[in-house]
């Protein structure tokens, strides 16, 4: 403390109170956060929104990103000229209002079906792009940068005084960013168990036969079967890798005569890479991208996710293999087609105990005599390593 007592006064005014009482600092922080969130929301959330909220194929996100990019190249110059005479703060306010309209359109798209949802989200992306073009030149304008730097300079004393007290926020920010990135990847590239099951929870009878399922499909009306095939087509468009057990692989080999007609595999699954978990020697299908593996599913899942390149991983079956992925906390979604049949015994759907804490019903549809259920899977505690450790 000096003779004037100024040192003690400065210390008393430091820390949280100085930062929270400095209005220019709060204004700068709030403005930066708002515009950063608006700017990155499309690239971070659009793919998730298209897949999870709209239930549309992944290629639609690519089309929408093109819709976001092309108008910027064509319309940026005339739009900048149109707002050249306005004060920067007014242009930023206008861009914020246009962004608000785009977010309202995104919300509207989530509540309408089919073509209407695609039209709404396309319009939302166009409006979002307009907001970006409005605020872009202002943010890069020399006058705006001068105001921004002056405001930053005004805030620096408060920030410096609070830095030591707020340093723990840096660590939280780093960990939060890591978790956010991991969660985004998990949402966009889901590991899904798509399977048909009997009403009493079996995916095959005691002889590993699916004749009961084929009979149920044959009894269904033609339009229901067509809808089912279209649903699978949409599902498979988003699949980038597949996994199955030895029993499932052998059934496919025998039922489809794939060793004699290997081209049928390509007709069904294209060039999507597949992993077969087995403890015995199995015949490969000529020309098919199939890897035979055994042991822990986690390292194999890492290979599959890398090969999928942002698309989903499909666990074809059987139930025990899907259970191993669930044990490791890797299973994100279960999609079940319930057929109008009971078997009494056979191969179980998922021989694991999962309750309401782990399973959340996200979709329920009827298609003729079939019911389609989708459950989001929350990994049980201790099912995998802590990503923060």
pLDDT in tens, 86-132: 666 677 778 778 888 988 888 888 888 778 888 888 898 888 888 87
Span 344-367, mean pLDDT?
A: 93
Of 374 and 94, the one with more pLDDT: 374
Where is pLDDT greater, at 225 or 253? Answer: 253
Residue 12 has pLDDT above 70, yes or no: no
pLDDT digits (tens, 9 = 90+) for 269-325: 999 999 999 999 999 999 999 999 999 999 999 999 999 988 999 999 999 999 999
Residue predicted with more confidence, 258 or 184: 258
Ordered by where they begin, the domains of the chain are: 6-166 (no CATH), 187-377 (3.40.430.10)
Percent of the chain with pLDDT over 70: 70
pTM over 0.75: no
Q: What is the pLDDT of residue 116?
A: 85
Q: Where are the beta strands (DSSP E) in 228-341?
A: 239-245, 274-277, 290-293, 312-317, 333-338
Is residue 28 exposed (0-12), middle (13-18) or buried (19+ Cβ within 10 Å)? middle
Tokens 């410096």 appear where? 160
Q: Is the pLDDT of residue 159 over 70?
A: no
Mean pLDDT, all residues of the chain:
78
Residue 368 has what pLDDT?
84
């Amino acid at each position: 403390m000096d003779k004037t007592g100024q040192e003690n006064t400065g210390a008393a005014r430091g820390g949280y109170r100085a930062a929270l009482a400095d209005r220019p600092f709060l204004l700068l922080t709030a403005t930066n956060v708002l515009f950063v969130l608006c700017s990155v929301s499309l690239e971070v959330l659009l793919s998730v929104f298209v897949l999870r909220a709209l239930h549309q194929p992944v290629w639609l996100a690519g089309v929408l990103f093109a819709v976001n990019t092309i108008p910027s190249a064509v319309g940026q110059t005339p739009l900048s000229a149109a707002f050249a005479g306005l004060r920067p703060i007014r242009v930023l306010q206008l861009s914020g209002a246009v962004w608000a309209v785009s977010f309202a359109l995104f919300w509207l798209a989530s509540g309408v079906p089919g073509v209407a949802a695609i039209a709404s989200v396309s319009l939302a992306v166009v409006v979002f792009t307009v907001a970006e073009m409005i605020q872009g030149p202002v943010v890069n304008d020399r006058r705006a940068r001068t105001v921004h730097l002056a405001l930053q300079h005004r805030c620096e004393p408060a920030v410096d005084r609070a830095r030591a007290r707020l340093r723990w926020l840096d660590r939280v920010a780093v960990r939060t960013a890591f978790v956010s990135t991991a969660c985004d990847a998990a949402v966009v590239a889901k590991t899904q168990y798509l399977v048909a099951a009997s009403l009493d929870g079996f995916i095959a009878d005691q002889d590993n036969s699916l004749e009961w399922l084929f009979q149920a499909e044959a009894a269904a009306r033609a339009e229901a079967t067509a809808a089912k095939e279209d649903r699978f087509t949409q599902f498979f468009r988003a699949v980038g890798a597949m996994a199955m057990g030895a029993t499932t692989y052998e059934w496919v080999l025998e039922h489809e005569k794939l060793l004699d007609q290997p081209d049928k595999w390509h007709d069904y699954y294209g060039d999507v890479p597949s992993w077969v978990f087995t403890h015995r020697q199995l015949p490969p299908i000529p020309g098919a991208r199939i890897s035979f593996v055994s042991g822990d599913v986690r390292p194999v899942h890492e290979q599959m996710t890398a090969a999928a390149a942002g698309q989903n991983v499909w666990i074809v079956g059987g139930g025990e293999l899907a259970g191993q992925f669930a044990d490791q906390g890797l299973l994100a979604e279960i999609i079940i087609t319930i057929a109008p049949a009971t078997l009494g015994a056979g191969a179980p759907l998922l021989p694991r105990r999962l309750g309401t804490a782990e399973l959340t019903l996200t979709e329920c549809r009827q298609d003729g005599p079939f019911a389609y259920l989708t459950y989001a899977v929350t990994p049980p505690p201790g099912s995998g390593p802590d990503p923060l450790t």
